[in-house]
Structure 1
């Protein structure tokens, strides 16, 4: 059996007007000669190893891109229609890529929240997950599994409760006091997360919350520091908000869960932002 690929064959036929069929060596050799001719004619746009032309034929065969008008049908109107279809296809690909990037961002954000959830529970804290993230799939269940269903009354009844509910992860003592707050900042501005933590910190007794943490990729540290130098964040230095890199959290979370106690291990990993 010759090495045919159904999508590539369909793409080749659409591009050339051929009628190549699967499963015959003479058909395969004919298509191979045609592909080599296309690659030679457009070598400046394609690659020497046939990877680019094969990818193009595959994309045409799967309907990702439309084939240009065939010889004899290549009128001005037909080419105009093809250009319009090609533009739509390119726009759709941009949307698909943007959605894929957004999905990956959500997965990463949720994953880090899950790390913090599991770590907080292992260290004996009650854990709160942001109200808008509670139902996200995580592992074999939901992100809020095993966590508080409602905030303690002093927080839930306070003036900043709506903002505090949206903090990504809270660790609380059994008496309902917040020990640590974590905002996961994968790629977006830190502004909203900082504001929520300020609301939390300023809603209770000064110094009552031991840890306020921005959790972000290792590569964002300098960017976060630059944002915190803005005048709008002048109060942040008073609250000792600290930076917890993904890498440190990921590398140490299992050991902390097994051998750690209280907030001390997280304090050792986090970096001062002052």
Structure 2
């Protein structure tokens, strides 16, 4: 296909406000947070493999945390966890019971973590492919993408189907050589398109073509013959998802609003996550309840930037953080715990840490807080509690009226 034709397709892709370009790549703060979470998770996988504590099943493993965080990244990564499920009848992927393969997988992930250029990763892929580990194929590229988003694209059935339609190829799913060939075409086309250095944007285009939402001449027969009913169903699902995301965002903003006005009534300075200042609740921007700048001059800028994304902070008159709140409506509870843990390691004073989540997620919160790795962190265990949406919403007015300090949260906060 000519460059001009591809440019027209990209323009249509960008104009579609319900395309993954808008719902996942551009207007999704959780996507940006996921990169740090996944990188830390991969590091944990490597550590456990090296210490021989990884285990012999996917369920409950550190790898499950990583690929679950990937699968949460909207439509384009749905099903990303499936290739890593342990299938006992087929004995795949063979990295759970075969210690030799497991160690090789750990070395591969570590090399990708430490890699400084694409050649180093390319060489590691070749080494991994030569081992012929049963069931361990290019699905691993989804992990590599979150470590090096400008070098290696993600990979799934819809992406391959879209690639074949756009470039008139017959790449087959499941082979590392096929993935690397596909990657070369994507890099070249993406460079010409100026869409984004992050390959997620261009891969999102391939996903839309491959899933049938974006129709081009090369996939008309496929769409008309097989995907028409599926496409209509998917359009409705996407529309419902957009409405659902909007409702979730409103609930998230509501909890930030309650925490902000409660903090102010108790005499604390309030900070609301930098990327949420323009969000609205009760027709007011959340930024109106927040400090304009987070006073963390003595903290490393990289760490300060991460802390500034925590949903709500309360600070005393000495600009010390006394409490931090992560509102987890539907995103990973574990990701929220990691962000709060990062904060606890970065400040000198003792601060209280709270997860704020819907009532129906209470069991999940308890399970996450009971992870052995968290139970071993005594300081974190002592500082962290959780608050349910219903309790905060119901009791906020009373706490604003009668509370004098952070202790007012004790009756509604819970620990494990």
Q: Shorter-chain-normalised TM-score: which range?
A: 0.5 to 0.7
Q: What is the 5 A alignment of 1:212-227?
A: 212-227=353-368
1:74 alignment counterpart: none
- Check whether the contact 2:356–2:388 (CA below 8 A) recurs between aligned residues: yes
Higher-Rg member (1/2): 1
User: 1:186/1:158 Cα in 2 relative to 1: closer, same or farther (>3 Å)?
Assistant: same
1:208-243 superposed Cα distances (whole Å, 9 cap, x missing partner): 234210111122111111112234434554222001
Give SS of 1:225's match.
helix
The one of 331, 350, 357 aligned to 1:209: 350
- Check whether the contact 2:250–2:281 (CA below 8 A) recurs between aligned residues: no
- Check whether the contact 1:185–1:216 (CA below 8 A) recurs between aligned residues: yes
Give SS of 1:128's match.
strand
1:267 alignment counterpart: 410
1:43 alignment counterpart: none
1:152-174 superposed Cα distances (whole Å, 9 cap, x missing partner): 13455455212101100000011
Q: What is the count of residue pairs matched by the alignment?
A: 192
Q: Which runs of 5+ in 2 are unaligned?
A: 1-222
2:334 alignment counterpart: 191
User: 1:144/1:162 Cα in 2 relative to 1: closer, same or farther (>3 Å)?
Assistant: same
- Check whether the contact 1:134–1:142 (CA below 8 A) recurs between aligned residues: yes
Give SS of 2:288's match.
coil
Q: What is the 5 A alignment of 1:2-21?
A: none
Give SS of 1:268's match.
coil
Whether 1:169 aligns to 2:312 is: yes
1:144 alignment counterpart: 287
The one of 242, 246, 252 aligned to 2:389: 246
Q: Please give the alpha-carbon distance, in whole angstroms, between the structure 1 residues aligned to 2:389 and 2:347.
A: 29
- Check whether the contact 1:167–1:196 (CA below 8 A) recurs between aligned residues: yes
- Check whether the contact 1:158–1:203 (CA below 8 A) recurs between aligned residues: no
**Alpha-carbon offset, residue 203 of structure 1:** 1.2
Give SS of 2:364's match.
helix
- Check whether the contact 1:228–1:236 (CA below 8 A) recurs between aligned residues: no
1:9-59 superposed Cα distances (whole Å, 9 cap, x missing partner): xxxxxxxxxxxxxxxxxxxxxxxxxxxxxxxxxxxxxxxxxxxxxxxxxxx
Give SS of 2:313's match.
strand
**Alpha-carbon offset, residue 204 of structure 1:** 2.2
1:231-264 superposed Cα distances (whole Å, 9 cap, x missing partner): 4434554222001111111111001111111101
Give SS of 1:124's match.
coil
The one of 52, 72, 88 aligned to 2:231: 88
2:371 alignment counterpart: 230
1:98 alignment counterpart: 241
Q: Please give the alpha-carbon distance, in whole angstroms, between the structure 2 residues aligned to 1:201 and 1:272.
A: 17
More helix per residue: 2
Whether 1:116 aligns to 2:259 is: yes
User: 1:236/1:242 Cα in 2 relative to 1: closer, same or farther (>3 Å)?
Assistant: farther
User: 1:155/1:235 Cα in 2 relative to 1: closer, same or farther (>3 Å)?
Assistant: farther
- Check whether the contact 2:387–2:414 (CA below 8 A) recurs between aligned residues: yes
